[in-house]
């Protein structure tokens, strides 16, 4: 063979082939086995994770009436790459928008500065929360508008146009929240106010995910592995409230045309039976597309209808605070039921004069509570602060303060409503600052004995004081939620807080409050057949008219309801707060208002004290 010496070249060629194959295999090992990046890129390429929104938890009242539920809403989505040959005029007419709106919105969607997640291949929200009529009209023609599609979402709806503040509302999640909590994505809803906010984690449920296959041009080609890796959404938990929606509606009706609030508590459980903040608004209007316009309008209203007065408004507690003082003074052996102090139309020391109204004098403690004697409590508090058994006024004041705070004054109670205010019980330091250290006397601070001056409380704190008296010595943190589906309410809503005061001293106050109803300042609170105990208040709010305040509970034995009502700048406690509270008590205990008191109800409901009530015309007043 002539090629013999070339035979060995087959090894060179064979080696070359082997080398190529080995290089390729090494490359395959590197790509397929040792590099994770390509697997991630592949998932990012092919999987479109579509969020399935869970239905938000429902909310029921204490008797099982459905209050808040979900209603479908429709977002119009646009996929830019698929928009071809659109009849813009027809489209705009169908949606009821102008051509300029259309052009603006389209450029807004495409602007990555505004719309960070923009991609021409994925659906973008064109219009959200379409009304049902527009939706129906659009659906008929949708086939004519390539690139446009409908995404179904749910929005909140309300069975009763009541309890707007307590129930709260949801809205689109803010950018700061998205950055803090990676559960939320752009366009998600989140509780913004009320229970929707405080129980957001329970109500929202868990989002599900559907893994769709997306081809290289962004088109959806089906579900990955027939949905084997999809996650079902978990519906939000149902809330059962302590709220009695009918009582709530009655309260709102009674407060119509007035500023103020009512808080009613079941003293034995701490459940809030009614939380009226007036003026209020129609919760159904704070939903969907009109939410921002409504919000703007309400926010501009001088009567601040958006403020939840039950937990946020800071009031002087007025004479209702005398009950707390009566308890503290007894406990510290300053006074007892029989202690008498004179009153000559007020409390006068030298040039100091604090007026009181006309009543018999001197009064014992029962009579002082029943008649709300200012002089009595001024004298009582001074007797404590200047008492020799204490080292000095600072020590006496600190004992008074710590006792008062056991009623829940001066700090947040921990109500399950957002933005609760803690009120104020002054400290010696605060007085030191105003008067100079050691330079203040009992007379300087005497107004706190009648719930004025530096003492500030919220409606729910005053109602809590009332519940404490009703319980003769303990309170449970007031709360809205009775129970959460499959989950006990937090321990803190079961815990009894005992006060620093013994039960026997409560009995004195209860008797005084009973007398107030039977023949004292709160005579208007009498309800035939029900033993009501109560205490009026006329809290000064200079230079405006006094707040009309009342707190009361019924029945006297085994109380079922403790209530607090404040009608701002309306005058004496007896004028509005007493009758409104008594109607509320009657309704709660009897489920109806007796015919002879119907007239009182109508009179209260139709009394308009403030103008520009906000959305009063939008509020249903039929009960």
Partner 1 sequence: MERRIRLAQTIDWWIVALYLIMIIFGWFNVYGASYDYTQTTFWGFEYRSGKQLIWIACALVIAGSILLIDGKIYEQMANLFYWAMLLVLLVTIFIAPNIKGSHSWLVFGPISFQPAELAKLATALALGKFISKTGFSMGNRRDALGAIGLIMLPCMLIILQSETGSALVFFAFFLMLYREGLPGVFLMVAACMVVLFLIIVPLSDLPVYHNVGSLGFMLAFIFILLVVMGCVIAYESDGTTMLHILGGTVALFAIAGLLNIWFDVQYQIFALIAVIGTAIYLLFLFLYRSKRSYIWVALFAIGSVGVSFSVDYFFDHILEPHQQTRIKVVLGMEKDPKGVGYNVNQSKIAIGSGGWVGKGFLNGTQTKLKYVPEQDTDFIYCTIGEEHGFVGAAGVLCLFGLLFYRIMRIAENQRDTFTRVYAYSIVSIMLFHVLINVGMVLGITPVIGIPLPFFSYGGSSLWSFTVMLFILLRLDMTQKARFR
Applying CB under 8 A, among 9, 344, 544, 618 the residue interacting with partner 1 is 9
Cα separation, 371 vs 285, in Å, equals 45
Nearer to partner 1 by Cβ, of 6 and 557: the residue is 6
**Residue 433: CB partners within 8 Å, gap ≥ 6?**
none
CA proximity to 213, closest of 205, 202, 228, 224:
224
CA proximity to 396, closest of 436, 356, 448, 348:
448
**Residue 212: CB partners within 8 Å, gap ≥ 6?**
47, 48, 49, 50, 220, 221, 222, 223, 224
Give the pairing type, strands 66-78 and 148-158. antiparallel
Applying CB under 8 A, among 15, 18, 139, 503 the residue interacting with partner 1 is 18
Applying CB under 8 A, among 21, 103, 293, 608 the residue interacting with partner 1 is 21
Applying CB under 8 A, among 153, 156, 204, 214 the residue interacting with partner 1 is 214
Q: Which stretch binds partner 1 (CB under 8 A): 8-16, 131-139, 290-298, 343-351?
A: 8-16
25 binds partner 1 (CB under 8 A): yes
Q: Which stretch binds partner 1 (CB under 8 A): 7-15, 162-170, 324-332, 395-403?
A: 7-15
In angstroms, what is the minimal distance from the CB of 230 to partner 1?
15
Nearer to partner 1 by Cβ, of 221 and 314: the residue is 221
Q: Which residues between 110 and 129 bind partner 1 (CB under 8 A)? A: none
35 binds partner 1 (CB under 8 A): yes
**Residue 502: CB partners within 8 Å, gap ≥ 6?**
331, 473
Place of tokens 């507690």: 317
Applying CB under 8 A, among 150, 178, 213, 500 the residue interacting with partner 1 is 213
Q: Which residues between 584 and 623 bind partner 1 (CB under 8 A)? A: none
* Helix ranges (DSSP H) in 117-162: 132-141
Q: Which residues between 38 and 77 bind partner 1 (CB under 8 A)? A: 38-39, 41-43, 45-47
487 binds partner 1 (CB under 8 A): no
351 binds partner 1 (CB under 8 A): no
221 binds partner 1 (CB under 8 A): yes
In order of 88, 145, 148, 212, 309, the CA distances from 84 in angstroms are: 11, 8, 10, 24, 54
Cα separation, 524 vs 512, in Å, equals 16
In order of 83, 85, 459, the CA distances from 78 in angstroms are: 8, 14, 49
3 binds partner 1 (CB under 8 A): yes
Site track for partner 1 across 164-203, x = CB under 8 A: ----------------------------------------
Nearer to partner 1 by Cβ, of 146 and 222: the residue is 222
228 binds partner 1 (CB under 8 A): no
19 binds partner 1 (CB under 8 A): no
Number of residues interacting with partner 1: please give it, by CB under 8 A.
42
Cα separation, 93 vs 215, in Å, equals 34
Q: How would you write 323-382 as a 3-class SS string? A: HHHHHHHHHCCCCCCCCCECCCCEEEECCEEEECCCCCCCECHHHHHHHCCHHHHHHHHH
Give the pairing type, strands 59-60 and 239-241. parallel
User: Which H/E stretch holds residue 21?
Assistant: helix 9-28
Nearer to partner 1 by Cβ, of 13 and 360: the residue is 13
13 binds partner 1 (CB under 8 A): yes
Binding site for partner 1 (CB under 8 A): 2-3, 6-7, 9-10, 12-14, 16-18, 20-21, 23-25, 27-29, 31-33, 35, 37-39, 41-43, 45-47, 213-217, 221-222, 224-225
């Amino acid at each position: 063979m002539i090629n013999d010496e070339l035979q060995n070249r087959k090894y060179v060629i064979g080696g070359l082939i082997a080398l190529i194959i080995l290089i390729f295999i090494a490359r395959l090992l590197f790509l397929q086995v040792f590099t994770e990046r390509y697997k991630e890129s592949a998932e990012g390429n092919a999987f479109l994770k579509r969020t399935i929104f869970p239905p938000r938890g429902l909310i029921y009242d204490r008797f099982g009436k459905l209050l808040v539920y979900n209603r479908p809403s429709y977002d119009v989505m646009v996929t830019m790459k698929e928009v071809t040959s659109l009849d813009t005029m027809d489209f705009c007419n169908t949606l009821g928008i102008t051509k300029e709106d259309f052009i603006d919105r389209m450029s807004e969607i495409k602007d990555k500065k505004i719309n960070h997640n923009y991609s021409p291949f994925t659906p973008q929200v064109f219009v959200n929360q379409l009304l049902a009529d527009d939706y129906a009209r659009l659906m008929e023609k949708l086939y004519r508008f390539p690139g446009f599609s409908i995404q179904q979402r749910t929005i909140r709806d309300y069975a009763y146009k009541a309890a707007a503040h307590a129930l709260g509302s949801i809205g689109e999640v803010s950018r700061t929240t998205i950055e803090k909590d990676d559960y939320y994505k752009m366009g998600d809803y989140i509780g913004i106010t009320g229970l929707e906010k405080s129980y957001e984690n329970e109500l929202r449920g868990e989002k599900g995910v559907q893994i769709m296959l997306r081809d290289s041009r962004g088109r959806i080609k089906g579900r990955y592995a027939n949905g084997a890796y999809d996650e079902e959404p978990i519906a939000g938990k149902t809330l059962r409230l302590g709220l009695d929606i009918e009582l709530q509606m009655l309260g709102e009706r009674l407060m119509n045309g007035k500023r103020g609030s009512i808080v009613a508590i079941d003293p034995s459980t701490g459940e809030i039976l009614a939380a009226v903040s007036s003026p209020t608004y129609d919760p159904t209007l704070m939903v969907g597309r009109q939410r921002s316009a409504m919000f703007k309008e309400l926010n501009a209203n001088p009567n601040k209808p958006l403020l939840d007065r039950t937990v946020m408004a800071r009031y002087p507690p007025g004479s209702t605070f005398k009950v707390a003082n009566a308890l503290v003074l007894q406990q510290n052996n300053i006074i007892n039921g029989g202690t008498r102090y004179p009153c000559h139309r007020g409390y006068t020391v030298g040039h100091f004069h604090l007026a009181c109204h006309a009543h018999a004098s001197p009064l014992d403690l029962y009579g002082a509570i029943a008649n709300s004697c200012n002089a009595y409590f001024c004298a009582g508090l001074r007797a404590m602060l200047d008492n020799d058994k204490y080292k000095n006024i600072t020590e006496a004041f600190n004992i008074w303060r710590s006792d008062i705070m056991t009623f829940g004054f001066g700090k947040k109670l921990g109500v399950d409503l957002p933005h609760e205010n803690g009120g104020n019980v002054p400290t010696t330091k605060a007085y030191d600052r105003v008067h100079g250290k050691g330079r203040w006397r009992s007379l300087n601070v005497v107004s706190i004995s009648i719930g004025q001056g530096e003492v500030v409380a919220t409606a729910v704190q005053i109602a809590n004081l009332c519940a404490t008296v009703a319980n003769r010595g303990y309170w449970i943190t007031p709360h809205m939620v009775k129970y959460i589906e499959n989950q006990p309410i937090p321990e803190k809503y079961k815990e009894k807080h005992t006060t620093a005061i013994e039960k026997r001293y409560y009995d004195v106050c209860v008797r005084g409050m009973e007398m107030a109803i039977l023949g004292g300042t709160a005579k208007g609170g009498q309800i035939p057949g029900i033993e009501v105990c109560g205490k009026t208040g006329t809290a000064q709010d200079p230079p405006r008219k006094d707040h009309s305040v009342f707190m009361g509970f019924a029945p006297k034995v085994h109380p079922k309801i403790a209530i607090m009502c404040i009608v701002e700048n309306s005058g004496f406690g007896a004028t509005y707060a007493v009758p409104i509270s008594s109607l509320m008590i009657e309704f709660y205990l009897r489920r109806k208002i007796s015919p002879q008191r119907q007239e009182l109800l109508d009179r209260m409901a139709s009394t308009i004290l403030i103008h520009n009530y906000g959305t009063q015309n939008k509020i249903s007043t039929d009960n």
